[in-house]
Chains A and B, each alone.
Chain A
Amino acid sequence: MSELLEVANLGKRFGGFVALDNIALSVRAGERLGLIGPNGSGKSTLVNCICGTLRNEQGSVRFDGRVIDSLPAHRRTRLGLARSFQLPRPFVSLSLMDNVRIPLLYTVAARGGRHAGAAIDDHCHRLLREVGLEAKAGALPRDLTQVEMRKLELARAMAAEPKLLIADEAMAGLTHSEIEDILALLVRLNEQGVTVILIEHIMRAVMSFSRRLVVLVSGRKIADGPPEEVMRDPEVERAYLGQ
């Protein structure tokens, strides 16, 4: 397997606050990676830098063999990098159908994979069905619960047909069975060849999903390896139990 994502000595500061300090991370195609860390450890900042929502001051990000530091977020999405937002950011004036239609129109179409009118509708329905929102296809995001918003967030990221999907706390607040559903969905995507980075607080979910685990603490990577091994790492234990 080849390297899909390569992050090299990435640094990001906000004023005097160092949010990310010299992060190195590589992800091979087809991996299932868990990314954990206490609140404020820089997980979301890392995702934002990888996806182009924020610009990193230091270091570089390579994706699929090319340096993407200078690319705006939408170009990265088109290259195959999709993410869900930790706090759901739906398009509030568009129906759920249209919410998932956007990546199809702008990302998939830009790659040349043009869906015809009716096929696009079917595809939107299928995506919503996969996250269990098909019944609300015509509804507006304001009619959704927080949990449903998270599912929509995931569906929209999947709609971009990514090579790498970064799910940023997609499961917070979900019930046990809903978590199982989402995990099954992510595993299915992974089996279809999508690399997945899962950022999660729910350890049970992370442990059952991840084949590799990375731990961030105050902007630094303190562990990277097989999940069981990482969890036995005294430094990780300290970081987690210490807080």
Chain B
Amino acid sequence: MKKTHENTYTVYLLTDRLIHIIYKKAPCIDLKAAQVIVMDRMQLQEGREMPVLCDIREVRNINKAARDYLALEGSLWIEKLAFLIDPPVTDMISSIYLDTHAQKVPTQSFDNKSEALAFLGIEEKDGN
């Protein structure tokens, strides 16, 4: 089963084993954006806990309210979380996010998709 979904801020690719979230270019991820991003993810997942690959390479600005929301409300139904980053900017964003928020789920950042998938326990195949 494969599903895709898109909103103003993100694109979602859902397979049986993984949800892949790609952040689009946006001026700033604020609280409203974070709420939409989490709501859509939860609706796609329909209660299933899944590993999440979160591609934040296009993110340039995310404010504190959004970071707090993503770390608390936004961590439900996530089994494991891998950030896909592109140093230095998104490396910095993921580092400070990970350092300032208590992680409810195992989370790591990668600049390489295969390593990110390996961390999530997913074998790389076409379509992921």
The answer to whether A and B interact is no
Chain A residues at the B interface, C-beta cutoff of 8 Å? none
